[in-house]
Amino acid sequence: MPFPDLPDRLSDVRGRIAGAVARGGHGQSVTIVAVTKTHGADAVLAAWHAGLPDVGENRVQEALAKQVDVTLPVRWHLIGHLQRNKVRLLESFALVQSLDSERLAGEIDAFGRARGTPVDALVQVNVSGESTKGGYTPASLATTAEQLRVMTGVRIRGVMTMAPFDVPERVLRATFAGARETLTRLAEVGHPATELSMGMSNDYEIAIEEGATIVRLGTVLFGARPG
């Protein structure tokens, strides 16, 4: 069986998640999205059999290739940048976590209206302001929140953020708290926004202490990525 360590790794992760929820005091439940990018379809199957039905991929085409081999009712999350000309491929994703620009929002909205069911999406927020990261700045979100509200083809379920690497814990906490504030703003103006997707292998415990409801975990579950 591929990924023989996965059940043990997962049980360790679940213990750490419970500890972080208790320390953080937000009382939330936490969904693990198993990030299978660069692994084969066998990682998706291993995740499913270990009890992880939510899987994250950062490239649409790579995900679609795996979907051919995986007929189980996996919930596919798109966690990477989506090019506007690929929006029609969103059909096979349960949640787009990387809604990172107004133009993309417009395309997704049109797609959702045409198919008659809105696309569930998280707004990607760039809290740290790093130029290498995509997403809306928290400052621009007030205007954006209003614009998104009239889009009936997209349903904003929450916020996704990525923290900078190799920064002190207080910077991580400030980043995650900033994302949590943007979630509050979105909910205040009427979006059905409750999900806070933040935390990866190296920082998920802190993210959960700061209120994460979704963590996106690759390395800590599957080991180092190939390629």
Ligand X SMILES: *Cc1c(COP(=O)(O)O)cnc(C)c1O
Sites of contact with ligand X (CB under 6 A): 35, 37, 58, 79-80, 162, 200-202, 216-220
Two structure tokens written together for 6 = 């996965």
C-alpha–C-alpha distance, residues 199 and 208, integer Å: 7
**Is the four-CA dihedral 161, 132, 84, 86 of positive or negative sign?**
negative
Comparison of 154 and 221: residue with beta carbon closer to ligand X: 221
Comparison of 15 and 190: residue with beta carbon closer to ligand X: 15
Contact indicator for 35, 223 with CB cutoff of 8 Å: no
- The distance between the two most distant Cα atoms of the chain, rounded to a whole number of Å, is 50
Report in angstroms how near the CB of residue 224 gets to ligand X at its nearest. Answer: 9
Comparison of 144 and 197: residue with beta carbon closer to ligand X: 197
Residue with nearest beta carbon to ligand X: 218
Segment (H or E) for 206: helix 204-209
Report in angstroms how near the CB of residue 194 gets to ligand X at its nearest. Answer: 19
Comparison of 148 and 220: residue with beta carbon closer to ligand X: 220
Report in angstroms how near the CB of residue 33 gets to ligand X at its nearest. Answer: 8
Closest CA to 43 of 63, 13, 15: 63
Comparison of 183 and 198: residue with beta carbon closer to ligand X: 198
Report in angstroms how near the CB of residue 201 gets to ligand X at its nearest. Answer: 3
C-alpha–C-alpha distance, residues 52 and 64, integer Å: 19
Name residue 134's amino acid: G
Report in angstroms how near the CB of residue 189 gets to ligand X at its nearest. Answer: 26
